[in-house]
């Protein structure tokens, strides 16, 4: 289409403006159609998850499904509460575990390290952000789990068995595949992401901000603490919340390592499950229609949670943006 117009343009100079407008119109239509398809896709995602998961919502109610603690395909009772709890615990704990190290790396690379070293650190961090989830998963199964089992879980459990029996119900029987393993792996996976976002935030702090503090005789760390970090605080927080969203949706490595238990209460050394992990484990294998629909419903709640997290991050970014430089 476009080529033909180009050719005719050359030949028929006098009518050019008309063709130009036609070309522009067509171009705009195509571009807007492509843009619209993304809008359609996002809406379709919500629509499909909602309609395919409608039956459980009807049967148990929105709150009933959310707070239902039983997941029993045999009796046809489904509730997403255990998975919601598992998702929130693993995501929040892994963010807590990885936040300060990530900020440390970001500060080191943005402020302290010489340029060549910062380049190396940045490259490694960016590269590690791209390591696939399943690759981390296979490492977890064959390296991390046996290691943690023999050096941490079992010794701690036996220590508690003899010295602090009160802790046992909280610790739970030590299986290598458990909440703690999943949290450690999740923390490793979101650390590069948090780091990169925080690093960008710190780099964007204007030079004048630093120079003012330094002029007062502040040491490097004082410059960081007084001038740079407070300035970048909002963006760092938004980045952390985006990382939280990442952790919430992370699927494969968690499904491979979390132990997959659908019943509360979860314990530290005992197995648990998350919303993505239950979908991956059971989706291909659900026999009953209600079971399959319930997995879709879990997906729908996961959608709502991800949406909330992302909107909060976007709102933070916008609120804290300077002079209309919002994203």
Partner 1 sequence: MAVTAPATGSAAPPAAAPRGLATVTPEHLRRRYRRDRFMIGLLVLATAAVLVPLLIIVWYVVSNGISAVLTFDFYTQDLGSPARALQGRPTGLGHTILGTIVVDALALLIAVPIGVGAGIMLSEYPDHPLNPVLRILNDTLNGMPAILKGLLAFSLIVKPMGTFSGISGAVALAFVMLPIIARATEGVLRIIPWSIREAGLALGLPRWRVVLNTVLPAARVGVVTGILIAFARAAGEAAPLLFTSFGNNFFSSTPLRYLMGPVDTLPARLYSLAISPYKEWHAMGWGAAVILLVLVIVTFVGTRIVTRARHATDL
Partner 2 sequence: MRTLLALAASLLIAAQAQNVELLGAGATFPAPLVTAMADEYRDVTGGRVTVNYQSIGSGGGIRQFTEQTVMFGMTEAFLNDAQLADIAAAGGGVAFNLPITLGDVVPTYNLPGVAKGLVFDGDTLAEIFLGNVTTWADPQIGALNPGVRLPPLPITVVHRSDGSGTTNIWTSFLTKVSPAWADRVGFATSVNWPTGIGGNGNEGVAGVVQKTPGAIGYNSLVYAVLNDIAYGYVENKSGNVIEPSLTATSLAADVPLPSDTRILVTDTEAPDGYPIAGFAWMLMYENLDANNAIATRAQAEELLKFVLWAITDGQDLAEPLSFSRIPAAVLQLNLDMIRQMKFQGEDLGAQVLAAAGY
Report in angstroms how near the CB of residue 159 gets to partner 2 at its nearest.
14
Contact pick of 65, 83, 99, 177 for partner 2 (by CB under 8 A): 177
Nearer to partner 2, 224 or 295 (CB): 295
Q: Does 262 bind partner 2 (CB under 8 A)?
A: yes
Rounded to a whole number of angstroms, the minimum distance from the CB of residue 99 to partner 1 is 11
Q: Under the criterion CB under 8 A, does residue 239 sit at the interface with partner 1?
A: yes
**By CB under 8 A, residue 173 contacts partner 2:** yes
Choose, by CB under 8 A, the member of 129, 156, 286, 290 that binds partner 2.
286
Contact call for residue 92 and partner 1 (CB under 8 A): no
Q: How far is the CB of 153 from partner 2 (least distance, A)?
A: 9
State in angstroms the smallest separation of the CB of 188 from partner 2: 20
73 binds partner 2 (CB under 8 A): yes
* Binding partner selected for residue 95 from partner 1, partner 2, none, CB under the kind-specific 5 to 8 Å limit: none
- Which of 91, 93, 110, 255 contacts partner 2 by CB under 8 A? 255
How many positions of this chain bind partner 2 (CB under 8 A)? 35
Question: Closest separation between CB of residue 9 and partner 1, Å?
Answer: 8
Give the Å distances, CA to CA, from 231 to 207, 237, 322: 12, 11, 11
Contacts to partner 1 from residues 271-290, by CB under 8 A: 276, 279-280, 283-284
248 binds, options partner 2, partner 1, none, Cβ within 5 to 8 A by partner type: partner 1
Q: Which of 56, 239, 259, 276 touches partner 2 (CB under 8 A)? A: 259
How many other C-beta atoms can be found within 10 angstroms of the C-beta atom of residue 276?
22
> Which of partner 1, partner 2, none sits in contact with 29, Cβ below 5 to 8 A by type?
none
Residue 267, interface with partner 2 (CB under 8 A)?
A: no
Of the residues 57, 105, 182, 293, which one makes contact with partner 1 according to CB under 8 A: 105
- Does 302 bind partner 1 (CB under 8 A)? Our answer is yes
Q: Shortest approach of partner 1 to residue 258 CB, angstroms?
A: 13
Beta-carbon contacts of residue 305 (< 8 Å; ≥ 6 apart): 84, 87, 248, 275
> Three-state secondary structure along the chain?
CHHHHHHHHHHCHHHHHHHHHHHHHHHHHHHHHHHHHHHHHHHHHHHHHHHHCHHHHHHHCHHHHHHCCCEECCCCEECCHHHHHHHHHHHHHHHHHHHHHHHHHHHHHHHHCCHHHHHHHHHHHHHHHCCCHHHHHHHHHHHHHHHHHHHHHHHHHHHHHHHCHHHHHHHCCCCCCCHHHHHHHHHHHHHHHHHHHHHHHHHCCCHHHHHHHHHCCCCHHHHHHHHHHHHHHHHHHHHHHHHHHHHHHCCHHHHHHCECCCCCCCCCCCCECCHHHHHHHHHHHCCCHHHHHHHHHHHHHHHHHHHHHHHHHHHHHHHHCCCCCCC
Q: How far is the CB of 140 from partner 2 (least distance, A)?
A: 12
């Amino acid at each position: 289409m476009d080529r033909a117009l180009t050719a005719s343009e050359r030949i028929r100079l006098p009518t050019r403006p008309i063709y130009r407008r036609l070309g522009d119109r067509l171009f705009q239509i195509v571009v807007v159609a492509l843009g619209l398809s993304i809008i359609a896709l996002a809406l379709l995602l919500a629509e499909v998850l909602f309609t395919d998961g409608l039956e459980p919502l009807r049967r148990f109610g929105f709150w009933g499904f959310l707070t239902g603690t039983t997941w029993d395909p045999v009796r046809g009772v489904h509730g997403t509460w255990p998975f919601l709890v598992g998702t929130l615990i693993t995501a929040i704990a892994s963010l807590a575990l990885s936040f300060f190290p990530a900020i440390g790396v970001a500060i080191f690379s943005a402020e302290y390290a010489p340029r060549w070293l910062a380049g190396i650190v940045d490259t490694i961090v960016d590269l590690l952000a791209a390591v696939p989830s399943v690759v981390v998963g296979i490492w977890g199964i064959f390296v991390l789990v046996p290691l943690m089992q023999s050096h941490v879980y079992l010794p701690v459990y036996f220590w508690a068995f003899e010295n602090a029996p009160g802790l046992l119900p909280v610790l739970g029987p030590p299986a290598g595949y458990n909440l703690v393993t999943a949290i450690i792996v999740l923390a490793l996976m979101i650390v590069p992401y948090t780091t990169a976002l925080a690093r960008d935030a710190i780099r964007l702090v204007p030079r004048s901000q630093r120079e003012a503090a330094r002029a007062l005789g502040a040491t490097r760390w004082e410059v960081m603490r007084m001038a740079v970090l407070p300035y970048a605080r909002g963006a760092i927080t938004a980045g952390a919340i985006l990382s939280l969203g990442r952790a919430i949706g992370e699927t494969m490595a968690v499904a491979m390592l979390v132990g997959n238990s659908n019943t509360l209460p979860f314990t530290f050394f005992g197995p648990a499950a998350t919303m993505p992990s239950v979908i991956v484990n059971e989706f291909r294998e659900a026999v009953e229609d209600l079971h399959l629909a319930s997995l879709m419903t879990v997906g729908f709640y996961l959608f709502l949670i991800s949406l909330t997290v992302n909107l909060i991050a976007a709102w933070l970014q916008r609120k804290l943006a300077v002079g209309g430089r919002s994203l």
